[in-house]
Structure 1
Amino acid sequence: MSTDTFDAPGLSRRGLLKVGLLGTAFLATAGVTATLSGCSASVPASGLSTLRASDLPFLRALIPVIIDGAVSAEKMSAAVEQSIRGIDYSLTRFSPEMQKLTVQLFDVLALGLTRGPLTGVWGSWENASAAQVSAFLSRWQNSSISLLKLGHASLLQLVMLAWYGQPESWAHCGYPGPPKV
């Protein structure tokens, strides 16, 4: 039997509530700042219904990291573009409130003021390496802040929904497709 103990400072309920409230206030402020600064232009990107041009660099950095291993390197570019169209399609079918929350999440991730401290990616998403994006995902997944964990889960589900909704992805996971009627 091990007698090792972990001597870490305890976080009281009051402390946890303070951290949660501060995190929520920070993210809300960042979202409002992004909206007021024009970072979150509500005009969809060319050929898309919901996603904006400011969302695309982040998604092009994120998607290859999430679907790595599910698609070959030579087909990755096409898979990323298919996934972006799939995410856009899904967002058009979300409730207005879910669309708003997703747009706010993308705004926080696009704004340099919040991107660096929250993700660890201090430069633009276009210059982020796969290792940096993976570290960001791990950071959010293992965060003590539930709002970041929720953001991680949301991003993961958006990409998985978009990629595995494509017939091109089914062979990798052994799914033969829907039955022919």
Structure 2
Amino acid sequence: MTQNDTTQPSSPKRRWLLKSALALGAVGAALGGAVFWKRGITDGTLTDSGKEVLKAVASAVLADMLPTDPAAREAKLEGQLLRLNQVIQTMPSSAQGELAALLGLLANAPTRLMVTGLSSAWAKASTEEISAALESMRIHKLPTTMLSYHAVRDLTCIAFFTNPDNWALTGYPGPLDI
């Protein structure tokens, strides 16, 4: 007497699903490792990658308020990075960690392309390309992408507008004497 095996072989759909899950896990781990490798902040200070991202964001967000002379503009952007370091150092370490991860995400080419649509490096992109990338983040359908936009834009604005040296560039005369 022979026994009939009633178990069915695994379906092609199940194998495809398992292979896809493994591939996506590998890609996710690689991207996560890349973000960790190129962190935006280390020990409360902006890294070169973080500086590149925030300098590009500042050049686009503050474009109309920055000096038109290239040397003066560059000096103002370098001053902005120093001010950003001061602001970041006042943040709790948990917020610094989140910002470091966000800047790492924006600094790495694959994730920068996925999040912003910006194909070139921040330092090589034009102000118009950076503005378009930020706008795509601002109106994105995913709330996390919109939140990321607001985080880098708001941090840039906080550092710029709280610096009294920049008030004349904006037309703000300073606080009134009461």
Query: Normalising by structure 1, what TM-score?
Result: 0.73
Q: In the alignment, is the contact (CA less than 8 A) between 1:31 and 1:107 conserved in 2?
A: no
What 5-or-longer segments of structure 1 have no aligned partner?
1-25
Tell me how far 1:28 sits from its aligned partner: 9.1
Q: Does 1:80 align with 2:77?
A: yes
Does the CA contact (< 8 Å) of 2:84 and 2:159 recur in 1? yes
Match of 2:7 in 1: none
Provide the C-alpha distance between the structure 1 equivalents of 2:158 and 2:93, rounded to a whole number of angstroms: 18
Identity %: 23
Name the residue aligned to 2:64: 69
Contact 2:54 2:81 in 1 (8 A): yes
Unaligned runs of 5+ in 2: 1-26
Question: Displacement of 1:32 after TM fit?
Answer: 4.4
Matched residue pairs, number? 150
Q: Give the distance between the partners of 1:128 and 1:117, measured in 2 at CA.
A: 16
**C-alpha distance in structure 1 between counterparts of 2:142 and 2:80, whole Å:** 28
Amino acid at match of 1:118: V
Question: C-alpha separation between the residues in 2 aligned to 1:28 and 1:153?
Answer: 26
d(CA) in 2 for partners of 1:108 and 1:66? 19
TM-score computed with the length of structure 2 as normaliser: 0.74
Name the counterpart of 1:109: 106
Alignment of 1:132 onto 2:129: yes
Give the conservation status (yes or no) of the 8 Å contact 1:141–1:149.
yes
What is the RMSD of the two structures over their aligned residues, measured on CA atoms? 2.5
Name whichever of 139-148 and 122-131 sits farther off: 122-131
Structure 1 runs (4+) greater than 3 angstroms displaced: 26-33, 41-44, 178-181
Contact 2:41 2:96 in 1 (8 A): no
Give, in whole Å, the separation in 1 of the partners of 2:102 and 2:127. Answer: 20
C-alpha contact 1:58 1:110 (8 A) present in aligned 2: yes
Q: Would the alpha carbon gap of residues 41 and 161 (structure 1) be closer, same or farther in structure 2, given more than 3 Å must change?
A: closer
CA shift, 1:56, in A, is 1.7
